[in-house]
Amino acid sequence: MFSLLKNSLYLRFWLGQVISQLGDGITRIGITYLVATLSKDPLLIGLVIFAQLLPTAVFGIFLGPLADQWNRRWLMVSADLYRMAMVIAMIFFYDSVPALIILTAFHGIGTALFDPARTSSIPDLAGESNLSEAISLSQSTKAAMDIIGPSLGALLLMSKQYSIIFLIDAATFAGSALLLFTLFSIGKVHAYSPEDKKTYLSFITSGIKEITGMPSLRFLLLQLLPITLVVGILNTNLVAVLTTTFHVSAFHFSLIESSMAIGVIIGATWFGPYLMKRLKANALLISGTAVIGIWMALILHLDWIREETGIGAIYIWCTLIGVFNALINVPLSTLFLQVTPPAFS
């Protein structure tokens, strides 16, 4: 997997991912903690988390096909510079919750443009023969940044110099844009004629029709809606409880987020695959939803346990939330791969 980094082009491509996702992790934890402490309102905390996820869900279907229509290198560079501008704007509004939520949503539009272009560029640099290794390296890097980013954010939040957090993230986007600009072999420029526009629109409409026309996939998507809703509510309330009920410091809040990421890695690489060998995917998905719901309900007794044993109880509880996430994510991913045609996988 790491032999790909001997290729200087792929090394620059990978370093762009490292520094960009590192800055993202630092800023994400900073914005979430800022909104939580400034507002102490679970609704606003939910809105900032919603703003982080909404643009990809809403605009991803429209921005994704651009990676096949326009030069991917310029798309990624433009998306990085756009996100850099959004982060710089946060410096001037870090004490305004509404402004932070709005800027977070606009920032997400840049991510919705960047991610498809980056993913579709991997075969250009790694080659089809090394595609699985390149994907593994990309996913491993993201998992590592999900741990390292919040951990560094914990140290920065202790200083309460929030403008520094946003400046660091802006610098990472600038660095990523510079590295990607040097990759001239990515994505040839396409002439954007009226025929291209027709192809672009028909690609979107045909994709929606084909996906919604498959009964098994349609049923899985409908089943996913209540699960996603419940898990989203639980995660939002978790942030509110940590900051307003347990009154964890900025340092511990960031490290607790990192511990959850560690739990996700443990669950995805060992716990989930182990259970998948012994249970059907649909049975594990239903059981996993129940298990994580029961585990989240134990928060009612967590404050008493914390008083008796210390803050370590919160770390253990949150780490296991990450582990138990595998009981949902692993079977869900398996089911999607089973029912989705290869062209859409």
- Give the model's pLDDT for residue 67: 66
Q: Do residues 138 and 13 touch, judged by C-beta distance below 8 A?
A: no
- Give the model's pLDDT for residue 31: 87
In angstroms, the CA 326 to CA 273 distance is: 9
10-residue averages of pLDDT along the chain (345 residues):
75 87 83 84 80 75 68 88 93 89 90 82 74 72 80 78 86 91 68 49 60 63 67 71 81 82 81 81 82 84 86 90 81 66 51
- Give the model's pLDDT for residue 189: 44
Specify the residue for token string 């560029």: 121
- Give the model's pLDDT for residue 85: 94
- Give the model's pLDDT for residue 341: 56
Give the global pTM: 0.72
Specify the residue for token string 């692993």: 330
- Give the model's pLDDT for residue 190: 45
- Give the model's pLDDT for residue 267: 81
- Give the model's pLDDT for residue 34: 85
- Give the model's pLDDT for residue 251: 79
Specify the residue for token string 């710089």: 88
- Give the model's pLDDT for residue 171: 92
* Four-residue CA torsion sign, 97, 99, 102, 105: negative
Residue ranges in 241-343 assigned as alpha helix (H): 250-266, 272-276, 281-297, 299-309, 312-339
